Amino acid sequence: MAVREVRIDESAIETLAMGFQGELIRPGDPTYDEARTIWNAAIDKHPGLIARCAGVADVIGAVNFAREQDLLVAIKGAGHNIAGNALCDDGLVIDLSGMNAVRIDPEAKTARVEPGATLGDFDHEAQAFGLATPLGINSTTGVAGLTLGGGFGWLTRKYGMTIDNLRSVDLVTSAGTLLHVSEAEHPDLFWGIRGGSGNFGVVTSFEFDLHEVGPEVLCGPIVYDAKDGKSVMQQVREFNKTAPDELSTWLVLRQAPPLPFIDEADVGKDAVIVVPFYTGDMAKGEELIKPLRELGTLLGDGVGPAPYEAFQQAFDPLLEPGLRNYWKTHNFAELSDEVIDLALDYAANLPTPLSEIFFGQVGGAMARVSADATAYPHRDARYIMNVHTRWDNPALDDTCKVWAREYYNAQEPNAQGGAYVNFISESEGEEALAYGDNYDRLAELKKAYDPHNLFRVNQNVKPMA
């Protein structure tokens, strides 16, 4: 393949290089293709320059360079964003993947995390002290992107969203200024970064509160034949209404994966997978989740005590990098019979065996934060749905996307409005859904901190006119 023409002034790049301790990667360099490869293989973009930063000084230099050269700029943490916002064509990628240190203070129960760290990096360090904070469900996800979009996972009902456990950040603004941002310093900006995506600057350090979790939790998948799917989902819906915050139970609709506790003959069958996660006393948890193991025709039961860090990696084999992905998302106040029927109908006709629909149970501590306390507004959601199509053959691009959009549109009348910003694959008007009633305040903040919209390769908030 021919090397794309570099459209960035070479003399300016040479000037940047003189004060840059990281690596500047151009088209045609031996590491260029590796550096522009991200988790979602459906994204194929060709930056004019990739600035792989070694530290904060490099980040400041790269931001100033992008502004002065009037470049389109993308920010790459771990490169896991579904929409591919870690990359851009022809412009500058500020690559933070090498800044991945995690430092735990076990006495203060806090963590300082650099923007290139993954959930796996964070959990590994924190669990050495029996500590954790609410994160996502795939260990290769980046802490930075997850946090800036809100962040939810297995611990959310007990300890809130990721942003509810954020104490402070260090952030480089579009003017190249480093700010320490917290409730006490620049509180307006602290409000905005908690759910406002990457609109306000480049975060170079996150500080989180930690909680005692594990080292073992009670968790695992219970796999039911989809022929009993409606009854299973209805029973889980009723069960979840009175579940304590220590327990989260998610529903996954997909073909039964090749798990050691599933008979080989049942692998590939349409299934409804019930996934409980309980952080608390094991004996109490076993008694609590017992009804979830008696819901229908069982294909396999993998629930048991497991290390928290291991369960955070349990879904990694289903989410490995290198495949093509497209997502759609809705929030739901409840799983009505209409929602269940539609989900089962579409799950019976998944476009590929790797595709799935899941409903993540939230609420609990997340719901006890007001909608305007942070930029993330959807505190009243009880389920967050991800329509996840996944495939390897580019010839299936349209098939998978059309199926996902059709299901999304069919469920829209049943949804409560709103969208989880980290699950948005492309700009189709969902930004307004993601930010909800907080959009205007975010636009005012954008005008104050990024008036020329330098940071626009994201689920963008335009500066208030």
Cα separations (Å) of 385 from 7, 9, 40, 438?
41, 45, 19, 21
E-strand spans in 183-265? Answer: 202-209, 211-212, 216-219, 222-225, 247-255
Same domain flag for 222 and 334: yes
Angle made by CA atoms 135, 448, 436, in degrees to the nearest 5:
50
Q: What is the CATH number of the domain that holds 64?
A: 3.30.43.10
d(CA 425, CA 420): 11
Cα separations (Å) of 258 from 267, 278, 358, 385?
6, 24, 18, 24
Same domain flag for 43 and 115: no
- pLDDT at residue 6, as a whole number: 55
Residue 430 within a domain: no
Residue 300 within a domain: yes
- pLDDT at residue 1, as a whole number: 44
Sequence-separated (6 or more) residues with CB below 8 Å from residue 418 = 330, 331, 377, 378, 381, 433, 434, 436
Same domain flag for 349 and 245: yes
Residue type, 448: A
Q: 221 and 273 in contact (C-beta within 8 Å)?
A: yes
Reported as type and span, the H/E element at residue 17 is helix 10-18
d(CA 71, CA 92): 6
> How many domains is the chain partitioned into structurally?
3
Residue type, 121: D
Same domain flag for 278 and 395: yes
**What is the chain's alpha carbon radius of gyration, rounded to the nearest angstrom?**
22
Structure token digits, residue 72: 């389109």
DSSP label at residue 118: B
Structure token digits, residue 60: 């400041």
Q: 111 and 123 in contact (C-beta within 8 Å)?
A: no
Structure token digits, residue 411: 């469920």
Q: What is the CATH number of the domain that holds 357?
A: 3.40.462.20
Phi and psi, residue 407, nearest 5°: -65, -45
Same domain flag for 31 and 109: no
Residue type, 381: A
E-strand spans in 96-201? Answer: 102-105, 110-113, 131-132, 166-172, 178-182
Q: Is the peptide bond before 463 cis (omega within 30 degrees of 0)?
A: no
Residue 226 within a domain: yes
Same domain flag for 115 and 161: yes
3-state SS string for 308-356: HHHHCCCCHHHCCCCCEEEEEEEEECCCCHHHHHHHHHHHCCCCCCCCE
Q: Which residue has the tokens 């090749």?
A: 258
Sequence-separated (6 or more) residues with CB below 8 Å from residue 324 = 40, 41, 42, 390, 391, 392, 394, 396, 397, 400
Structure token digits, residue 178: 């480093």
Same domain flag for 413 and 270: yes
Residue 464 within a domain: no
Q: 139 and 312 in contact (C-beta within 8 Å)?
A: yes
Residue 4 within a domain: no
- pLDDT at residue 317, as a whole number: 87
d(CA 450, CA 199): 8
d(CA 237, CA 223): 16
Same domain flag for 271 and 323: yes
d(CA 392, CA 43): 12
Q: What is the spatial order of strands in the sheet that 166-172 belongs to?
A: 102-105, 110-113, 202-209, 166-172, 178-182
The list of the chain residues with pLDDT below 70 reads: 1-6, 428-429
Same domain flag for 254 and 372: yes
Residue 465 within a domain: no
Same domain flag for 55 and 193: no
Same domain flag for 412 and 444: no
Q: Please give the residue range of the domain that contains residue 33.
A: 10-95
Q: What is the CATH number of the domain that holds 196?
A: 3.30.465.10
Q: 145 and 77 in contact (C-beta within 8 Å)?
A: yes
Q: 463 and 397 in contact (C-beta within 8 Å)?
A: no
- pLDDT at residue 7, as a whole number: 76
Identify which of 459, 461, 463 has the alpha carbon closest to the alpha carbon of residue 145: 459
d(CA 458, CA 434): 12
Same domain flag for 365 and 243: yes
